[in-house]
Amino acid sequence: MLQKNFSGYVFETGTDEAGRGCLAGPVTAAAVILPADFEHSFLNDSKQLSEKIRESLKPIIEENAICFAVTHLHPDEIDEINILNASMKGMQECILKLNQVPEFIIVDGNRSLNAKLGLKNTFGRQFSATEIELLKSIPNQSIIKGDSKFLSIAAASVLAKTYRDEFMNKIHKEFPMYNWKQNKGYPTKEHREAIKKYGTTKYHRMSFRLLPEQLELDFFEH
C-alpha cells in the first residue's frame, strides 16, 4: 500500500519524469497534488503498470487531483543542458504551472528539486528571479524509488508516462520508420537499426550515443 503523505502538509506535491533514457523525444515531467482522501488500488509506479492500466488511471488522477501539471522538455534543450538537468528543470516547470503553490514537494530520485535553478539555456523556458525565489522557498525531499512508495509521486509518474507516450504516438506518424509508437524512443535494437538505416531526425537527442559504434549519421531536416 502506497503512503498518502510524507511531510504532513495538506498541499504536498509529488513529482516525477518519464523518458530520461530515450534516444528520441522529450523528457516529460509531471507534478500532482492529491486530496487527503484519495486512494486507488491499482496506482503504483508507472513502470510496474500495463499501458491499459496507466491509460485508465490518467483520467481518474486528473479528475480527482487538487491540481496537476505536465511539461515536455524537447531534445534541443536536453542536448544543451544535459538530460539530468532537463529532467529536474521539467519538474521545476511543473511546480510553477500548478494553480496551487505547494507547501512541500516530494520528488522521485536522489537529487534536490532546488538543484541547478535558473540555468541560462538558449532553448526552452527561462525562469525569472521571482520564480527562482519561489522554487527555493518550498521545502522538498528527494525519495529513492518514491514512485513505488507515495501516491502523489506514483500519480505524477503515470501522468508523465501517458503524456509522453501520447507525444511519441503523434510524432510516430511523421517518422513511422522508427516505430516510436511501439518503442517510444527507447534504445531498442529496432530503433537503433532504423537510425543506422535512415539517419537522425529533429526529435533525436544528438548528445546521446545513438548507435553502439560511431557511424556517420544523416539528419532529416523535415
Give me the number of domains the chain comprises.
1
Q: Tens of pLDDT along 159-217?
A: 999 999 999 999 999 999 999 999 999 999 999 999 999 999 999 999 998 987 655 55
On the question of pLDDT at 222 being above 90, the answer is no
137 part of a folded domain: yes
Q: Please spell the DSSP secondary structure of the chain, one letter per residue.
A: --BS-SSS-TTEEEEEEE-TT-SBS-EEEEEEE--TT---TT---GGGS-HHHHHHHHHHHHHHSSEEEEEEE-HHHHHHH-HHHHHHHHHHHHHHH-SS--SEEEEESSS-TTTTTT---SSSPPPPHHHHHHHHHS-EEEETTGGGTBHHHHHHHHHHHHHHHHHHHHHHTTSGGG-HHHHTT---HHHHHHHHHH-B-TTB-TTS--SSS-----B---
User: What confidence score (pLDDT) does residue 217 get?
Assistant: 53
For residue 52, the enclosing domain spans 12-169
Residue 89 and residue 124 in contact, taking contact as beta carbons nearer than 8 Å: yes
pLDDT value at position 219?
52
Exposure string over 188-204, b if 16+ CB within 10 A, otherwise e: eeebbebbeeeebbbbb
**CATH at 114:** 3.30.420.10
With respect to residue 161, please indicate whether it lies within any of the assigned structural domains.
Answer: yes
Task: Give 16-35 pLDDT, tens digit per residue.
Answer: 999 999 999 999 999 999 99
**What is the C-alpha separation between 29 and 89, in angstroms, rounded?**
9
**Is 207 contained in some domain?**
no
Task: Please enumerate, by residue number, every residue annotated as part of a binding site.
Answer: 16-17, 108
pTM here is 0.92
pLDDT at 213: 62
Q: Is residue 188 part of a domain?
A: no
Binding site residue list for a divalent metal cation: 16-17, 108
Q: Does some domain include residue 121? A: yes
Stretch 78-103: mean pLDDT: 96
Is 6 among the domain residues?
Answer: no
Using 50, 70 and 90 to split pLDDT, how confident is the model at 88?
Answer: very high
pLDDT at residue 44, as a whole number: 80
The mean pLDDT of the chain is 92
The label of the residue with cell 506518424 reads 173
Asked, for residue 57, whether it belongs to a domain, the answer is yes
Q: Is residue 2 part of a domain?
A: no
